[in-house]
Amino acid sequence: MKFLRKILYPFSLLYGLITSIRNYLYNKHIITSTQFKTPTIVVGNLSVGGTGKTPQIEYLIRLLQNDYKIAVLSRGYKRKSSGFIIADENATAEIIGDEPFQYYLKFPKVIVCVDADRTNAIQQLEALENPPDIILLDDAFQHRRVNAGFNILLTAYHNLYVDDGMLPTGNLRENKSGAKRAQVIIVTKCPNNISEVEQFEITKKLNLTEKQSVFFTTIEYDNELKGVSNLNLSELKNTEILLVTGIANPTPLVEYLTNQKIKFKHLKYPDHYQFKEKDIAEIKSEFKLLKSNNKIVLTTEKDYVRIFADLQNLQFISIKTKFVKNKASFDKLIKNYVE
């Protein structure tokens, strides 16, 4: 692995140079970006996946949906369609992508749309007969053609961007200096018992500007499983489980189930994996090998929207973002911007 990293290191330098030049051109307004009249909030990261953007978007929806008409805009990663699409009753994970489809199913009052060209999408949204009051942009921190009013940058506790390197030897999509564009940095997936001292040390390490704020969040798992039937998490201790994941980082879920003394067999697939017939057959075959009559297939909510039509005995576990402290301060920052 070290030898491979040495070989690829020049490509990391080249990739970093290209992205730095691009950001410089935007920062100096040589390449122009568009600012819109509708309040726009970006939730993104510097790294490739696994920082918890989906639960953070859902947190913002829950925070604002009672007072404002919200639109969520995503590119619809790995969807089998193109162009601008607003989710409707014909939407599927294949048409709009798994995360947008999840938003659509959970939040019926929210406009969910996809477009690789976010500028075009926002123009389309603002032209609607009943346009949104707020637009949440999912994973658009590097999409600099849009000059968003508020940027939230996520970085995972176990893999801070300040400790990472550029692609392909690391996971960063742009130089660490890009973090300066964010008004808020959230350290996600923290341990529930993270100490004040450790929070202080991480904050110091991030080297924030005077205008930036940092918050720490953890993952909160729902005790009620959903799917074919509603089960309580406590019931799983006497259940044989086949865990199926197609997300960037299943480690927190694996650790959570292990800490709950829940036994399972894990089938792990890549992030945003498009399950094929042979994969469904593999899952069904592994499920048959479980000897108990009391058995389920357990997956994440994001994976569920892609495979629920193909599997029986399928349950999913939901997650939410939970602030370790200063939740009220974060909420106030968001509401002040929107107002």
Say yes or no: 64 and 143 in one domain.
yes
Do 122 and 264 fall into the same domain?
no
Integer Cα distance of 67 and 69 in angstroms: 7
pLDDT by 10s per residue, the chain, length 339: 556 666 777 888 888 889 999 999 999 999 999 999 999 999 999 998 889 999 999 999 999 999 999 999 999 998 999 999 999 999 999 999 999 999 999 999 999 999 999 999 999 999 999 999 999 999 999 999 999 999 999 999 999 999 999 998 889 999 999 999 999 999 999 999 999 999 999 999 999 999 999 999 999 999 999 987 778 888 888 889 999 999 988 999 999 999 989 989 999 999 889 899 999 999 999 999 998 888 999 999 999 998 887 888 899 999 999 999 999 999 999 999 999
For residue 267, the model assigns a pLDDT of 96
| One domain, residues 328 and 313 | no
Structure tokens at 195: 């100490």
The answer to whether residues 101 and 8 belong to one domain is: yes
Residue 101: domain span: 2-220+322-338
**Residue 282 maps to which CATH number?**
3.40.50
Residue 138 pLDDT: 97
- Do 112 and 160 have their domain in common? yes
Alpha helices per DSSP H over the chain: 2-27, 53-64, 93-96, 98-106, 118-126, 196-206, 251-259, 277-289, 301-307, 327-338
Beta bridge partners of residue 73, listed in sequence order: 113, 137
- In this structure, the answer to whether residues 70 and 155 fall within a common structural domain is yes
CATH of the domain at 31: 3.40.50.300
Residues linked to residue 45 through DSSP beta bridges, in sequence order: 154
d(CA 229, CA 134): 35
139 and 175 inside one domain = yes
pLDDT of residue 193: 93
In this prediction, residue 235 carries a pLDDT of 83
* 305 plus 329 within the same structural domain: no
Q: Are residues 263 and 287 in the same domain?
A: yes
306 closest CA partner among 76, 75, 108: 76
* Bond before 168 cis per omega within 30 degrees: yes
DSSP code of residue 97: -
Using one digit for the tens of pLDDT, what is the confidence trace for 209-247? 999 999 999 999 999 999 877 788 888 888 899 999 999
| pTM of the predicted structure, to 2 decimals | 0.93
* Partners of 92 in beta bridges: none
Same structural domain, 142 and 212 = yes
Does residue 93 share a domain with residue 182? yes
What is the pairing mode between strands 111-114 and 213-221? unpaired
Q: Quote the number of domains for the chain.
A: 2
> Phi and psi for 42 in degrees, rounded to 5?
-95, 135
145 and 189, same structural domain? yes
